[in-house]
Amino acid sequence: MPAARLPDLGNLKPFGHIGNRTLRQLIAYWFDKRGARTLPALGDIDPTEIPLLLGQIWLCECPADSGRFRYRLAGEKINAFWGYSIAGKHLDEIVPPDRLASATEKFRMACELPAILHDRVCLSLTEEITQTGEHLILPLSDDGVRVNLLLGAAHRAWFHDLEFDPYVTCSEATTVTAL
């Protein structure tokens, strides 16, 4: 059975700053599945409809009591970036200490507001090599009220990657869109 055609970003102009095509497709898919509701549920997401996105997405549980975010699953590109499977791991077990407070705050905002978060980060691997990354965090709610899961995606690129302009200064920015 052929995969469903992903919706076009079309009228989602407030998200025109998202540079990566995969992330644009995922947010369009999320809005399509949301329909007239504030938030889609996990049951609305059908992996057979988004096979080309699966390598770059992850699913993380919003903590009810523990305060710790736990990854339920992650695609192969996400796991390759970390060098191991992050499924079953907590955010504080994989994110470096110098970035943990920022990452935790972003995840918390997505769960509590609720909100869509998009950010662009720079990682200096050496003096000569800088990697950029784009992240998208989308809330999911099984009861339509409380966010219980985050659907996220990540894209990493070197400055010579064709999806990024090599003449743009690498700067970090986060966009929060409350729902």
Which mean pLDDT values do the consecutive 10-residue runs of the chain (179 residues) have? 48 75 91 92 95 94 87 94 93 90 92 92 62 89 94 74 45 73
Kindly state whether residue 91 falls inside one of the protein's structural domains: yes
Kindly state whether residue 98 falls inside one of the protein's structural domains: yes
The pLDDT score that the predictor gives to residue 161 is 44
Kindly state whether residue 45 falls inside one of the protein's structural domains: yes
The pLDDT score that the predictor gives to residue 70 is 97
What's the CA gap between 95 and 97, in Å, rounded? 6
Beta bridge partners of 134: 120, 155
The pLDDT score that the predictor gives to residue 17 is 80
What's the number of domains the chain is made of? 1
The pLDDT score that the predictor gives to residue 133 is 82
State the CATH number of the domain containing residue 30: 3.30.450.20
- From first CA to last CA, the distance across the chain in angstroms is 34
31: Cβ–Cβ under 8 A, 6 or more apart, which residues? Answer: 7, 12
Question: Is residue 85 exposed (0-12), middle (13-18) or buried (19+ Cβ within 10 Å)?
Answer: middle
164: Cβ–Cβ under 8 A, 6 or more apart, which residues? Answer: 19, 132, 157
pTM: 0.83
Kindly state whether residue 73 falls inside one of the protein's structural domains: yes
Domain of 45, in residue numbers = 13-178
